[in-house]
Chains A and B, each alone.
Chain A
C-alpha cells in the first residue's frame, strides 16, 4: 500500500439536485375514507383543536403517509378578531406562531404580519386572515422545486356544488423573495391574473408551507375588503360564510371546509445530493509495486517473467485517509486496473453524503 497526499485542487465539491413529482388529488384529502357515520379515517383531529392532520390513507394503517397539516388563523389586528369568537385566542396564536417563523419580527420586536407582495415597507394589503398548508418533510424533502406548485381550489358556493374554481400557482421559478427568516418564498397567483397582479398567497419553498389569504373566499379574492362569498359551511346561512366561519367555527371545522374545496395540489420537490470528488492520480513512476503478500513468490515478483521486465501492479482499492492517517473510506474498482511504469491512471472517487 502506498500513500499519497491529495492536493486541494484535486478535491471538488458538487451539489446535485434530485427531484420527485408529488401529485395530491383533492379526493384523497376529502371524503375518500369516510364511514357511514361520516368519520374520515385519514383525517386526524386533536384535542387541542389547533390544526388538522391529513394522511393519504386511514392513519391507523402502518402504510399511511402523513401528507400535510392544515390550520387557519388570523391576526389579533384583523377586523374579524374578537374575544367572543370561537377559539379566538387559538386562531390568533396560530397566526402569530406562523408569522414569527415565516415573516419574523420588525425593528420594534413586533411580529410582522403576512404581506401580500412581500414588501414590508410598502403599503400593500396585509394577509390578516390566512389558511396554512404545512406539507410534510416526507413530501417536500429539502425544498419545493420552484415553479412547480399548483393548487386547484373551489372558492364559491357550498360543499355539495362547489363553484369558483381557482388555479393558484407559483408561476415563475425565477421570481422569488429572500426576506423571510425561513428561506426563499414566492407569491402565489391565480390563473385568471397575470403574475404581476396581486397575490392570493405565499409559498415558502424550504419550509414547505403554503399560506393562502382567507379573502380568496370573497367575491373578489384580490381585494380583501370586498364581500365575503356566502355559504362556506354546509348550510345556506350567511353565518356560514368564510368570515362567519372564521369568527364562529372551530379551526377543525374551518379546515374541513377548506379541505372539501380542494380539487388538486401538485408540486415537485428537491433533494440535494452533496458530493465530494477526489481525483486520485497515479503517476507513471508511482504505484507500480505492491506490498500484498501474494505479490511475491520465493522473493521474486510473480507478475515478472524476466528480470528485465518492468514492475507491474494491479490497482483494486483506493483508500481515503484523514490527516491523522485514519482510514475514512474505501473505494473499489469493478476490476483490477493494470498499472505499469509506462502509463498513468486517474481514479475519480465520488463520495456522496
Chain B
C-alpha cells in the first residue's frame, strides 16, 4: 500500500456559510417556531420536554418517563443518585470544589457536605422573548448605600450596600447600541433628532429621584425589546432579513423590514398605512436583539386592546406582547421572520492517483490462483506448504470473448483512500461508491471533503 504526502496545494480549508430561515408566530401566550408542532410522546407529554416555540439545548432526554424509580446507587452518607427516569449530570462535592454554575457558592458551602451528590439538569430550552419597558418605569435602579454603617470586615470604610440595585436589559445594551451608531442615527440611545428626541435609558420615574443619580426623565418613551437566542440564529442574524408583521383580527396592520440593510426597521406596508416609511426600531444583528420604539397607532383609531394592563391602540412597541408576562391580547398576532448565519469549516483534500502508479495490489485475488505447493519427505513425514512463486497477475481486461480475455494490462480497482497523520496513524477513510478502475495510462484526482 503506497503512501503519498499531501502537498500544500492539495489541502485547504474553506468556510460554507448558510442562512437558515427563522419564523416565529406569536399568539395568545405562545410562540410557534417554523410551524413546528409539539409532539406528544409515549411516556412524556412532550417528546423533547420543551414548550412550544422552544428549542431543547441538549435533546438528551427524548420521550422518557419521569418519576421516582429508587436509587441508582447510594453513598455511605445515605445520599446517592436518584433514578428520575431522566439523564442528568451530577458532581460529587470534594476538595476540587467542582460544581455547576447554577449552584451558588452559598448553596455549595452550606447545603452540601463533602461526598454529597450535587445534581444538575439537562432539561434546558431557549425561545424568543419580549420585554416591554413603559416610559414610566425605571431602566436602572441605583444601589442603596448605607453611609451610616461600616463594612462587615470593619475596615473602617464608612458604608455598606443595603440594596445592590438592578439594571434592565435595555440599559445593559447601551454601549452595544452606540457601537452600531455608524450604521444609522436611530441606534442612538439618547438623541435630540432620532424619534423626535428621546432617551431609551430614561424613564419618567427618574424625575422623582435626585437628578444626579439617574437622569431627569427627559425623552422617556415606551420601548419594546425582542431577544432571539443564538441557538436559533447561529453566529448572527443575516443583515436585511428581519421582517416583522403586526396583525389585528387577522388583518395586516403594518410590516417592518430593514429595506436598506442599515439596521433600521422601516414600515413598508400596507401601502398608505399610518406610519408608512417611518423607522419603528433597530436590529442588533450580532446580538440577535430588536429594539422597537415606534408608538404610533397602527389601526388609525380603529382598534384597542390590552397590550399592557390597560386598553391601548396597537403600536410597534407592543409587538409580541402575547409572550410578555401575562398579557394575552387575543385579537392580535405577530410574525417575526429572519435568516440566521451559520459557518461551517470544510477541509478539502486532493488525492492524486498518477499515471503509471498505484498499478499493483496486495489483495490476494490480484494474482491468479495456482493451488498450494505441498512437498513432503517420505523419511520424516514432514510437510511444508510453500506458496507457488510463479503466480501471475490475473488478467481482468475484458474482451468480446469469454476466455481468453483481452491483451494484458495492469489494472487495479481503487476502493478506499486512507488518511494518515504524521505518525502513520490511520485517522480517516474515504470510500468511493463503486471501485474505480485504474490502469497505467489513467490518472485520477479524488476530492475528499471533511466538515470540521
Residues in chain A within 8 A of chain B (CB atoms): 14, 16-23, 25, 27-28, 32-33, 56-57, 63-65, 139, 147-148, 150, 266-268, 273
For residue B16, CB closer than 8 A to chain A, the reply is: no
Binds A, one of B56-64, B337-345, B366-374: B56-64
A19 with B90, Cβ < 8 A, contacts A63-B47, A65-B60 known: yes
B328 shortest CB reach to chain A, Å: 30
How far is A154 from B82 in the complex, measured between Cα atoms in Å?
A: 24
Task: Looking at the assembled complex, report how far the CB atom of B378 sits from the nearest CB atom of chain A, in whole angstroms.
Answer: 30
Residues of B37-51 contacting chain A, CB below 8 A: 42-43, 47-48
Given the known A-B contacts A65-B60, A148-B72, are A25 and B42 also in contact in the complex, defined by CB atoms under 8 Å?
Answer: no
| Contacts A23-B83, A23-B86 given; does A57 touch B63 at CB 8 Å | yes
Alpha-carbon separation in the docked complex, A20 to B92 (Å): 11
Q: Are B91 and A19 touching (Cβ within 8 A)?
A: yes
B interface, size bucket: 20 to 34
Min Cβ gap B54→A in Å is: 13
Query: B325-351: which residues lie under 8 A (CB-CB) from chain A?
Result: none
Q: By the criterion CB–CB under 8 Å, are A19 and B89 in contact? A: yes
- CB-CB < 8 A to A22: which residues of B? 87
CB of B34 to closest CB in A, whole Å = 13
CB distance from A149 to the nearest CB of B (A): 10
Q: In the bound complex, do residue B59 and residue A18 qualify as a contact, i.e. CB atoms below 8 Å apart?
A: no
Q: A148-B73, A268-B81 are in contact. Are A20 and B62 (CB under 8 A)?
A: no
**Contacts A33-B42, A268-B81 given: A20-B47 contact, CB under 8 Å?**
no
- Whether B96 contacts A16 by the Cβ 8 Å rule is yes
* Contact call B72/A268, Cβ cutoff below 8 A: yes
**Chain B residues with CB under 8 A of A28:** 63-64
| Chain B contacts to A: CB under 8 angstroms | 42-43, 47-48, 56, 59-60, 62-65, 69, 72-73, 81-92, 96, 98
**Does A21 lie within 8 Å of B87, measured CB to CB?**
yes
Asked if A19 meets B92 with Cβ closer than 8 Å, knowing A63-B47, A148-B72, A268-B72, the reply is yes
Among B62, B85, B88, B96, contact of A25 (Cβ-Cβ < 8 Å)? B85
Contact indicator B59/A16 (Cβ below 8 Å) = no
Which of B56, B63, B65, B82 has the most chain A CB within a 10 Å cutoff?
Answer: B63
Is the pair B83, A65 in contact by a Cβ cutoff of 8 Å? no
| Cα–Cα, bound, A65→B64 (Å) | 12
CA distance A21 to B84 in the complex (A): 9
19 A-B pairs with C-beta separation under 8 A: A16-B96, A19-B81, A20-B87, A20-B89, A23-B72, A23-B83, A23-B84, A23-B85, A23-B86, A23-B87, A25-B65, A32-B42, A32-B43, A56-B62, A57-B63, A63-B48, A63-B56, A147-B73, A268-B73
Which A residues touch B88, using CB under 8 A?
20-21
| Residues from chain A with Cβ under 8 Å of B69 in the complex | 23
The smallest beta-carbon distance between B56 and chain A, in angstroms, is: 8
B42 neighbours in A (Cβ, 8 Å) = 32-33
Enumerate the 3 nearest inter-chain pairs by beta-carbon distance, A residue then B residue, closest first.
A57-B62, A16-B98, A16-B96
Question: Using Cβ atoms and an 8 Å threshold, which residues of chain B touch A57?
Answer: 47, 62-63
A139 to B85, CA, bound (A): 14
* Cβ–Cβ < 8 Å partners of A148 in chain B: 72-73, 81
A348 to B86, CA, bound (A): 36
- Tell me which of A56, A64, A139, A266 contacts B72 (CB under 8 A): A266
Q: A residues within 8 A CB of B62? A: 56-57, 63-65
Q: Are A273 and B98 in contact (CB under 8 A)?
A: yes
Given contacts A56-B63, A65-B60, A266-B72, contact A21 B96 (CB under 8 A): no
B84: which A residues are within 8 A, CB to CB? 21, 23
Determine the distance from Cα of A23 to Cα of B60 in the docked complex, in whole angstroms: 12
Residue of A with least CB distance to B85: A23
Cα of A15 to Cα of B88 in the assembled complex, Å: 21
CA distance A147 to B75 in the complex (A): 11
A25: chain B residues within 8 A (beta carbon):
65, 85
Closest approach, in angstroms, between the C-beta of A203 and any C-beta of chain B? Answer: 14
